[in-house]
Amino acid sequence: MKKIRVGIFGYCRGSHYVDNFLVNGAEVVAVCDKRPERLELAKKKLGDMVTCYADFDSFIEHDLDAIFIANYFHEHAEYIIRCLEKNIHCITECISNATMAEGVKLVEAAEKSKAIFMLAENYPYMLFNQEMKKIYEGGTLGKIVYAEGEYNHTGNLYGTTPDAWNNVRMLFDSDKHWRCYLPRTYYLTHSLAPLMYATGANPVRVTAMPVYHPQPADCDRASYAGEKAAIITTLNDDNSVFKFTGHASFGASSNSYRLCGEKGMVENVRGTGGKIMLRYNPWQIPEGQVQDRIYKPEWECEDAELIKKSGHGGGDYWVAKVFLECIRENKQPPFDVYFSTRMSSVAILSHRSMLEFGMPYDIPDFRKQEDRDKYRDDYSSPFYYSDGREPTIACCSHPDYAPTEKQKENFLSILNGTRK
């Protein structure tokens, strides 16, 4: 079997996928990153088999079958489109597009291309989420009525050790970095994708409310978004309702999901290391089942040990595996361009809803020409860009919110290496 030749654009996150591509029969033959120290890490990991580039224009001319896009969160679409125009298969970190207009252009590029596009969304492939999907598809819960998803990662804002400062320098490169301006709704695929994947339901209308709670006045971060979370609600095409967070940061960290059907429900239990709870109404217990059951599923496949070593609960392994299988079999992946741009639309429009404290927005279907035309020129964005573009909309529900002088001083002193 011919090995698929993969290039990685953005080695910070991309490095975590190297082993997953290798064990699934691919070669990582090229890496592109603007930071020389990351290219050195790639050379150390991959040796003579890899060619390193500092610019994308040269990188994309390498003899590649596929490219993993892992550059800045909000700048994926331009590079995805360039790959698709050259018929190079493309997989990208979430989200696929940070503006509505980019979503339109991305769909149109994918439809013209001979290449496959896939979103590298890994949380649906975590073991408990795969088990919940299996249960729902088995039919014993009945039709989905309601579901919840919570991606809640708190951060230590008072990291006062060199290791903590190194982590900040790894994730940020200036006070205009995208993480400083990230609205709480935009990073939502880890909370929304598992629900869509398990149930097949697609959001058609969205509303969101802010959980406004600014960071401590003397912490080490300089965020222009003062929310701890956004609480997002969607009405879906099957009349079910989802409630989920974007990237939340309250209380103790957790990833939790719940599917509620007509006859029963299933959820992963917080703090139990991956256990799930399956429950039925007492008058609707399926044959061979019990009313309440809590158990921990196990991987039941020949690659179980490889999966356990992979990042994000095995999700990174499955993302690489599914992508490469789709290339070899010339089939569309589950997280294709329509799935991806719909989630991006939810991210973007739920933020606009949050800015208006709950105003509902309809989610476009970019299969439809009228929906594409409505958003073709909509480049509104809360981010700074590498080409010098500046934000055109607020990133916070309180538009005048900004970091304190102490926060900015602490943050910049870490970035420039003067923090003591």
CB-based contact 39:31 (threshold 8 Å)? yes
Domain boundary assignment for the chain = 4-119, 124-300+336-375
Task: Give the lowest-confidence range in 84-93, 260-269, 298-307, 406-415.
Answer: 298-307
- In this prediction, residue 1 has a pLDDT band, given cuts at 50, 70 and 90, of low
Phi, psi of 235 (to 5 degrees): -95, 135
| pTM attached to this predicted model | 0.96
Q: For position 127, what pLDDT does the model report?
A: 95
Mean of pLDDT values over 342-346: 98
The neighbouring-strand residues paired with 231 are 209, 245
Whether residue 95 has a cis bond before it, omega within 30° of 0: yes
In the prediction, which pLDDT does 309 show? 80
C-alpha of 293 from chain center: 31
> Which residues neighbour 329 within 8 Å (Cβ) at sequence distance 6 or greater?
none
* Mean local confidence (pLDDT), 36-53: 96
Q: What is the mean pLDDT of residues 96-114?
A: 98
Q: Of 321, 335, 274, 304, which Cα lies nearest the Cα of 17?
A: 321
Rounded (5°) CA angle 224-229-234:
125
Residues 101, 45: Cα–Cα separation, whole Å: 38
Q: Please count the helices (runs of H) and the strands (runs of E) in the chain.
A: 14, 15
Nearest to 304 by CA among 314, 315, 319: 314
Determine the Cα–Cα distance for residues 23 and 3; give it in Å rounded to an integer.
Answer: 11
Residue 117 neighbours by CB distance under 10 Å? 27
Mean pLDDT across the chain, nearest whole number? 95
How sure is the predictor about 314, in pLDDT bands with cuts at 50, 70 and 90? confident
Instruction: Find the mean pLDDT for residues 323-344.
Output: 98
Which among 133, 127, 138, 128 has a CA at the least distance from the CA of 287? 138
Q: What is the rounded distance in angstroms from the CA atom of residue 29 to the CA atom of residue 173?
A: 27
Measured at the CA of 125, the angle between CA 179 and CA 23, to 5 degrees, comes to 95
What pLDDT digit, counting tens, does each position of 55-91 carry? 999 999 999 999 999 999 999 999 999 999 999 999 9
Give yes or no for a contact between 323 and 333, defined as CB atoms under 8 angstroms apart. Answer: yes
Residue 259 to residues 7, 9, 142, 273: CA-CA distances in angstroms?
37, 36, 11, 19
Residues 226, 213: contact at Cβ < 8 Å? yes
Q: Where are the beta strands (DSSP E) in 139-240?
A: 144-152, 203-212, 227-236
Q: Is the pLDDT of residue 271 over 80?
A: yes
Using pLDDT thresholds of 50, 70 and 90, give the confidence band for residue 141: very high
Tokens encoding 23: 């064990």
pLDDT, mean of residues 118-131? 96
Is the model's pLDDT at 306 over the cut of 90?
Answer: no
**4-119 and 124-300+336-375 share one CATH topology?**
no
pLDDT band at 297 (very low <50, low <70, confident <90, very high): very high
pLDDT value of position 305:
82
Average pLDDT over residues 177-188: 97
Please return the burial class of 112, using the count of CB atoms within 10 Å of its CB with bins 0-12, 13-18 and 19+.
exposed
- Helix/strand/coil (H/E/C) assignment for every residue in 352-372: HHHHCCCCCEECCCCCCHHHH
User: CB under 8 Å to 109, separation ≥6 — which residues?
Assistant: 80, 81, 84, 85
**Rounded to whole angstroms, how far apart are CA atoms 202 and 131?**
20
Q: Which of 182, 124, 150 is nearest to 339 (CA)?
A: 124
3-state secondary structure of 243: strand
At the topology level, CATH places domain 124-300+336-375 in: Dihydrodipicolinate Reductase; domain 2 (3.30.360)
4-119: which CATH topology? Rossmann fold (3.40.50)
